[in-house]
Chains A and B, each alone.
Chain A
């Protein structure tokens, strides 16, 4: 035990470990807040689709050689989120087909561009890092952390500010429209927040594992709690605890950060499933 504390003390003497922890916890909190809404709106898979768009955008950013990929990745992901969430319902190609089309299309184009215009000699390394997050959370710079903190504050503020409207849009969009509230505007807010979270989460778990970060905490909370508010609070706690423990385990044992966090999320989901079985039996 003393050895573990010594190791932690050593590792936390490096600023990049603190950066990873701060960004990891913030991303986990933001993704859990929106996860409940997305799961209830049956848009669980949108995280996957948008993360693939972000991957494609990252490849495009690599061609331009920008100092910060987010200048291209954020706008492209936000536009895709708006198209998928907002216009998807009225378009000729809608729902899961639109998500699948954009998802695989962006992934293919992204990989094609990465191969044709490599930004570094190690293409497989770049792809590995972008898809699985490899160690990217531990390679964040101070600017990345500031950007993440600012975006997280925007996401949390927007969620708290529009909490009641998001709640209404999540459960009954038609009723919201009938009562004179502009549901489209709030769908747009959800789309933009979703895109921002996806871009942030790519650093933490990579684009292939983002869906897990959005879905698992929400589903875990739904096993035990029933009200929207309690599910969101529980989801946030589960997500933050899993992200924190995942980061600790991975820096201590040398496992990849992203998949360790997702493994922790899966473990908690199973525990909550068992708890819900006991609760049902008692009831």
Chain B
């Protein structure tokens, strides 16, 4: 029997050695998202603020652009993927699918609720903007990059950790030889 066990172990070891290793491509955006996710864990999520805390907090001034946006009605239309109408489990699963299979969602319109965060890459002198979406258990956060044309940071953007709603079309761009996917927004509002 020992021989059989040894034989089984040898076969399994061979299968193990045959497995191939592949590292994920180096992504500056992914590093920024990871950084945001790490930071987010150390703060109370905006959606989870205790009622007393929320009541005690002074009313924050809305940025100029957001005020402007709320006064000028944004054209409403049916989006292809409305994450604001889904439950947390489906939101997490859908965002995961968008992140892992972005080509399938390219050109589709989507609407997302989450909190705003931003990161700056000094080497590229570029700022990236994200809508970060926590899952039902608030342990797994996912970020989608978005770009809003005609806005300047920080004046035309909300404060980080502010709950926002982003609507737009999934598009892609190339940076340093890699394709990156983002939401080309036509609506960015605080919620």
Q: Interface of A with B (CB < 8 Å)?
A: 11, 14, 16-17, 64-68, 71-72, 74-75, 78-79, 82, 86-87, 120-122, 124-125, 128-129, 132, 134-135, 138-139, 141, 184-185, 188, 192, 250-257
Contact = CB atoms under 8 A, between A and B. Distances in A.
A102 B139 CA distance: 27
Given A67-B21, A135-B89, A188-B4, A122 B140 contact: yes
Nearest to B20: A67
Contact of B97 (A124, A129, A139, A256): A139
A86 B1 contact: yes
A82 B88 CA distance: 40
A111 to B, nearest CB: 15
A180 B136 CA distance: 55
B139 A134 contact: yes
Contact of A78 (B12, B19, B33): B12
Given A121-B38, A135-B89, A138-B89, A14 B21 contact: no
A132 B137 CA distance: 11
A252 B15 CA distance: 40
A71 B20 CA distance: 9
17 contacts: A14-B97, A64-B21, A71-B15, A71-B16, A71-B18, A72-B16, A78-B8, A79-B8, A121-B37, A121-B38, A122-B38, A122-B141, A134-B140, A135-B93, A138-B89, A139-B96, A139-B97
B23 to A, nearest CB: 5
Contacts of B96: 16, 135, 138-139
B121 interface: no
Given A66-B20, A121-B33, A122-B141, 4 more contacts: A16-B96, A121-B38, A138-B92, A138-B93
B21 A253 contact: no
B159 interface: no
B89 A257 contact: yes
Contacts of A192: 8
Given A121-B35, A134-B137, A134-B140, A79 B12 contact: yes
A184 B139 CA distance: 44
Nearest to A20: B93
Contacts of B89: 135, 138, 250-251, 254-257
Contacts of B12: 74-75, 78-79
B47 interface: no
Given A121-B37, A134-B139, A254 B88 contact: yes
A135 B95 CA distance: 12
A87 B5 contact: yes
Contacts of A124: 41, 139
A11 B97 CA distance: 13
B18 to A, nearest CB: 8
A144 to B, nearest CB: 12
Contacts of B35: 121
Contact of A66 (B9, B21, B93, B136): B21
A60 B20 CA distance: 15
Given A138-B89, A254-B87, A128 B137 contact: yes
A121 B139 CA distance: 12
B87 A253 contact: yes
B156 interface: no
Interface centre among B24, B90, B141 (most CB of A within 10 A): B90
Contacts of A188: 4-5, 8
A135 B92 contact: yes
B31 to A, nearest CB: 9
Contact of B19 (A71, A82, A129): A71
Given A87-B5, A254-B87, A75 B15 contact: yes
Interface in B70-90: 87-90
Nearest to A191: B8
Contact of A135 (B5, B16, B140): B140
A124 to B, nearest CB: 5
